[in-house]
Amino acid sequence: MKIRRYIPWIIVLAALAVSIFLLSRIYPIIDQRKIENAQSKEEYIGDIETPGKKILNGYLGTFFRFKQLGNINWPVIPLLIVFLVASYRRKKNGKGPGLQQWHKALLFSWAGLLLFLSIKGYANPRYQLSLFPINTAMVFYLLWKLLENRSKYLRAFCFGIVAAIAVFNIYHYAGAYKTMWDKRIALQNPHFPQKMLDFIETSPDIHKMSRVFVINQPIFYYHTSKYGADSMSAYVVEPWVLLRKKTGDRQKAFSILKFGHLINYFLLNTTQKRFFRDTTLEEFLQCECKLFMEDNGWLLYKLRDNLLEDRLKAPDFRQVPVWNTLGTGREQVCPFLFSFNLKGKTDGFDIRALEEEKGKHILVMRNVGAIDGAAREKEKKRLDMGLDFNRQGLQVTVSPGDYVYVLVEASISPQLDNNRSNFMMLADRKAGKKKEWDRVKMPFTTYHWRTYFLEKKIRPGAQRVVVLFRFTPQTPADRLMIRDVKIFISKKEL
Cα–Cα–Cα angle for 217, 218, 224, rounded to 5 degrees: 105
Mean pLDDT, residues 457-478 taken together: 88
The verdict on 136 and 283 lying in the same domain is: no
The verdict on 105 and 23 lying in the same domain is: yes
pTM score above 0.85: no
Last residue of a domain, one of 310, 333, 355: 310
Percentage of the chain beyond pLDDT 90 is 24
Backbone angles phi, psi at 446, to 5 degrees: -160, 155
Mean pLDDT, residues 391-413 taken together: 87
The verdict on 79 and 61 lying in the same domain is: yes
Nearest-angstrom CA–CA distance, 330 and 342: 20
The verdict on 288 and 327 lying in the same domain is: no
Inform me whether the pLDDT recorded for 393 exceeds 80: no
Domain assignment present for 189: no
For 236-270, b where at least 16 C-beta lie within 10 A, e where not — what string?
A: beebbebbeeeebebbebbebbbeeeebbbbbbbe
Positive or negative: CA dihedral 372, 375, 377, 383:
negative
Count of structural domains within the chain: 3
The verdict on 259 and 116 lying in the same domain is: no
Q: What is the mean pLDDT of the chain?
A: 81
The verdict on 161 and 36 lying in the same domain is: yes
Positive or negative: CA dihedral 124, 130, 133, 136:
negative
Distances (CA, A) of 288 to 281, 293, 306: 10, 16, 8
> Cβ distance 449 to 411 under 8 Å?
yes
Domain assignment present for 49: yes
Nearest-angstrom CA–CA distance, 63 and 47: 14
Out of 331-345, 396-410, 470-484, pick the least confident.
331-345
Mean pLDDT, residues 207-219 taken together: 90
Cα–Cα–Cα angle for 70, 73, 75, rounded to 5 degrees: 125
Nearest-angstrom CA–CA distance, 125 and 66: 10
Out of 2-6, 216-220, 238-242, pick the least confident.
2-6
pLDDT, tens digit, 9 for 90 and up, residues 293-329: 999 889 999 999 999 999 999 999 999 888 877 666 7
> Cβ distance 463 to 430 under 8 Å?
yes
Question: Burial level of 93, CB count in 10 A (0-12/13-18/19+)?
Answer: exposed
SS3 at position 35: coil
Inform me whether the pLDDT recorded for 443 exceeds 70: yes
Last residue of a domain, one of 310, 335, 356: 310
Domain assignment present for 188: no
Owning domain of residue 324: 317-490
User: Which residues, 6 or more positions from 247, have their beta carbon under 8 angstroms from its beta carbon?
Assistant: 280, 448, 449, 450
**Pairing verdict, β 403-412 and 383-388:** unpaired
Inform me whether the pLDDT recorded for 449 exceeds 60: yes
Helix, strand, coil percentages (3-state) for the chain, rounded to 5, are 45, 25, 35
Supply the CATH number for residue 414's domain. 2.60.120.260
pLDDT at 202: 93
pLDDT, tens digit, 9 for 90 and up, residues 339-390: 776 555 566 777 877 776 556 667 777 654 434 444 444 445 788 888 888 7
Last residue of a domain, one of 136, 151, 182: 182
Domain assignment present for 372: yes
pLDDT at 8: 64
Closest CA to 248 of 239, 258, 259, 235: 239
SS3 at position 425: strand
Domain assignment present for 267: yes
